[in-house]
Amino acid sequence: MATIKAEPFDFPVRSSEIALIVIDMQRDFAEPGGFGASLGNDVSRITKIIPDVKRLIEGFRAAGRPVIHTMECHRPDLSDLPPAKRDRGTPALRIGDEGPMGRILIAGEAGTAILPELAPIEGEMVIEKPGKGAFYATELGAILKEKGITQLVFAGVTTEVCVQTTMREANDRGYECLLCEEATESYFPQFKAAAIEMIRAQGAIVGWTAHINDILEGVAHA
């Protein structure tokens, strides 16, 4: 069996059962005028990982393995947006408000779209999720079961929120989870570092972490 060099120990690859999930690489989180910026964050921290996320996507495509994209967004009528989520904090723009790229995190708006450099190609699944985790109120679990997927490699943003939440959801459902360290990011470097430590602590209690070159090599030769 092929393996990927990882922490806290090598990740065993089942080539027909592995897929890549790219979490929320959207304009609203990565560009000025979007939701991330409205919270006062430095969005350049997100854009810097675009080349590595793209390399990872292209590697999975070349290996013939599924690539699944997620987008955090809500219905235009906000019926799937709890007030506790919309009203929290003091952002310059709240979810549903009109911003420079359309209504913030609303399905179909320009800002909600995945960054063009990482856009899905024909046949790739796109999961629209109203929560931080990609399994909540979505068809993701059914899709993975149908495809026979048992192993998930993760990329995207932010490491400590939507990425880690989805990894924990997947872990509880029995999936083996591997995070690509270069292809994920947080607005806060200390939060990314802490999330990586938590994920792989105590014998990969949530999952493994690995570097992009090792992941690409492992998937290519699996």
Cα separations in angstroms, 125 against 27, 103, 111, 203? 18, 23, 19, 31
Return phi, psi of residue 98, to 5°. Answer: -80, 125
Q: Which of 28, 132, 162, 180 is catalytic?
A: 162
Q: Which of 24, 52, 73, 180 is catalytic?
A: 24
Q: How far apart are alpha carbons 203 and 207 in whole angstroms?
A: 8
CA 51 to mean position of chain CA atoms: 15
Q: Which of 28, 129, 180, 192 is catalytic?
A: 129
Q: Which two tokens stand for residue 3?
A: 């393996």
Among 19, 21, 25, which residue's Cα sits nearest to residue 119? Answer: 25
42 a catalytic residue: no
162 a catalytic residue: yes
87 a catalytic residue: no
Q: Which two tokens stand for residue 168?
A: 């924990």
Q: How far apart are alpha carbons 209 and 199 in whole angstroms?
A: 8
DSSP states along 141-181: HHHHHHHT--EEEEEEE-IIIIIHHHHHHHHHTT-EEEEEE
Known catalytic residues? Answer: 24, 129, 162
